[in-house]
Amino acid sequence: MRQALAEAAFELFLERGFEQTTVDDIVARAGVGRRSFFRYFPSKEDVVFPDHEGCLAEMTALLEGAGGRDPVAAVCDAARLVMLMYAANPEFSVRRYRMTREVPGLRCYELSVVRRYERVLAGHLRERYAGAPDGDLRAEVVAAAVVAAHNNGLRTWLRSGGEGDVESLVDHALGLVRQAWGDGSGSPAGRRPEDDVVVLVARKGTPVWRVVQSVESALEG
Amino acid sequence: MRQALAEAAFELFLERGFEQTTVDDIVARAGVGRRSFFRYFPSKEDVVFPDHEGCLAEMTALLEGAGGRDPVAAVCDAARLVMLMYAANPEFSVRRYRMTREVPGLRCYELSVVRRYERVLAGHLRERYAGAPDGDLRAEVVAAAVVAAHNNGLRTWLRSGGEGDVESLVDHALGLVRQAWGDGSGSPAGRRPEDDVVVLVARKGTPVWRVVQSVESALEG
């Protein structure tokens, strides 16, 4: 029923446009009553993004089981769930992406959803950074960076019409955030702490990001 | 005229609620015609945030004049313009913050505005990082981090009812992003490159953020 409503709605949005389609049109096409629609979807906007509630719940569950892992790695993995949801149905995801860009109401809805994901990630980080200096601030900044990186990778894929490997694109993008903010453990390459000692020599005034790059590559070596 | 309309609208929003106030109510209160309203504001939402267009323009101008400065420092300064706009009228800003949290339509509008600021900052960074590896990605991630940090500081101030020093709050928050992503030049403390050499010893597997903290404090020393 839920899926049938979503499909009927989407057909109509593509035929007539989002604004020109009413809930009555959708239930008529799906052959169900108006009440059924609102049992599944609070609004017309929700039908365009039928899986976000489920994904938010999965994300929360994944983070609850994150235990003592690097918090940044954990929220990156949580963000990947969104990409996996989009990747499960490339054609639908690409069509929706194109429609969303053209309909202001949907853009707004999407921004709200993205913000909800960001809050879930920030909430986890806030707990993990509790007591650390600037813990709340760091939690919000890292969550925003993770979401931006994730969306950069996902959007590249959506813009290309769903061609190429979205997992690699998103993982590469998330890698930049993990490099800057993560603790380096649990990387995809399975890097393990060793007992070697790295000595780094830097001239005062060296750009910090260059120093970080050197440190990172030494620790990876 | 513009200001009179904004004030009339705000009085009514507080008296009756945002949703219950029409544009006709606003123009009646301000004693002007309906056309005048739409000459200044495209919608009822825009009247709640009358200064964002001006601020976006200022931000663009500031970034165009940024020359060869550390790009992260430049976008942090650009983001500060939003804080300064809020700080210019604390009482109005706090009332609006409270109203925005309660009205979904305004929340959505605010998210769109925040996104526009983020795009201006990302656009500048994209130009500055042109040709660098992952330039576009880095631009988007840094812009999102700057906006998140700025908003963390600003929100702390708004939540407190506009008490305390919003400039310090926002500058402190932006400092975290500059530490992670900036090149260390043009810091508020006016740190200058010197010729001393810092030697840092780290055990492999040390959390990168701890290394960054040590490097940063050594370079500041």
CA-based nearest residue in chain A for residue B219: A204
Higher pLDDT pick, A193 / B200:
B200
- With helix as H, strand as E and coil as C, how does B173-221 read? HHHHHHHHHCCCCCCCCCCCCCCCEEEEEEECCCCHHHHHHHHHHHHHC
Q: Which domain holds residue A111?
A: 51-188
Q: What does pLDDT average to over chain A?
A: 87
DSSP secondary structure string for all residues of A36-63: HHHHH-SSHHHHHSTTHHHHHHHHHHHH
Residue in A149, A198, A203 closest to B197 by CB: A203
Residues A126 and A61 occupy one common structural domain? yes
Amino acid at A5: L
To test the contact with chain A by mutation, choose from B100, B195, B204, B219 the residue with the greatest count of A C-beta atoms within 10 A, namely B204
Mean pLDDT calculated for residue range A153-163: 97
What's the pLDDT at B190? 34
Residues B70 and B136 occupy one common structural domain? yes
A150 in B contact zone (CB under 8 Å): no
What's the pLDDT at B213? 67
B180 in A contact zone (CB under 8 Å): yes
Mean pLDDT calculated for residue range A191-210: 58
Q: Long-range CB contacts (< 8 A, 24+ apart) of B47-53?
A: B47/B5, B47/B6, B47/B9, B47/B10, B48/B9, B48/B10, B48/B13, B48/B18, B48/B96, B48/B99, B48/B100, B48/B106, B48/B109, B49/B96, B49/B109, B49/B110, B49/B113, B50/B2, B50/B3, B50/B6, B51/B85, B52/B113, B52/B116
DSSP letter, residue A194: -
What's the pLDDT at A14? 81
Domain assignment of residue A13, yes or no: yes
Q: Nearest CA to CA, how far is B103 from chain A (Å)? A: 13
Instruction: Say which residue the tokens 């949580």 belong to.
Output: A78
Domain assignment of residue A6, yes or no: yes
Instruction: Say which residue the tokens 């639908």 belong to.
Output: A92
> Residue B216's pLDDT band (boundaries 50, 70, 90)?
low
The mean-pLDDT minimum among A124-128, A168-172, A214-218 falls in A214-218
Contact (Cβ atoms closer than 8 angstroms) between residue B198 and residue A201:
yes
Quick one: how many helices (H) and strands (E) in chain B? 11, 1
Does A29 score more than 90 pLDDT? Answer: yes
What whole-number distance in Å separates Cα of residue B12 and Cα of residue B16? 6
Domain assignment of residue A214, yes or no: no
Distance between alpha carbon A15 and the CA centroid of its chain, in Å? 29
CA-based nearest residue in chain A for residue B193: A205
Residues B141 and B66 occupy one common structural domain? yes
> Residue B178's pLDDT band (boundaries 50, 70, 90)?
very high
Does A210 score more than 60 pLDDT? Answer: yes
Residues B33 and B82 occupy one common structural domain? no
CB atoms inside a 10 Å sphere around CB A52: 19
Residue A92's CATH number: 1.10.357.10
Domain assignment of residue A207, yes or no: no
What SS3 state is found at A138?
helix
* Cβ–Cβ gap A215/B211 under 8 Å: yes
Domain assignment of residue B186, yes or no: no
Residues A21 and A56 occupy one common structural domain? no
What's the pLDDT at A3? 82
What's the pLDDT at A190? 34
Q: What is the pLDDT of residues B84-96, one digit of tens each?
A: 999 999 998 998 9
User: Percentage of residues in chain B with pLDDT exceeding 70?
Assistant: 83
**Planar angle of CA B113, B149, B60, nearest 5 degrees:** 45
B189 in A contact zone (CB under 8 Å): no
Higher pLDDT pick, A138 / B1:
A138
Q: Locate A87 and state its tokens.
A: 């990747």
Residues A16 and A80 occupy one common structural domain? no
Q: Nearest CA to CA, how far is B120 from chain A (Å)? A: 15
Q: How many domains does chain A have?
A: 2
Residue B33's CATH number: 1.10.10.60
Strands B197-203 and A197-203, by their bridges, are antiparallel
Residues B97 and B84 occupy one common structural domain? yes
What's the pLDDT at B185? 62
Q: What is the pLDDT of residues B41-90, one digit of tens each?
A: 988 888 888 889 999 999 999 999 998 889 999 999 999 999 999 999 99
What's the pLDDT at B196? 46
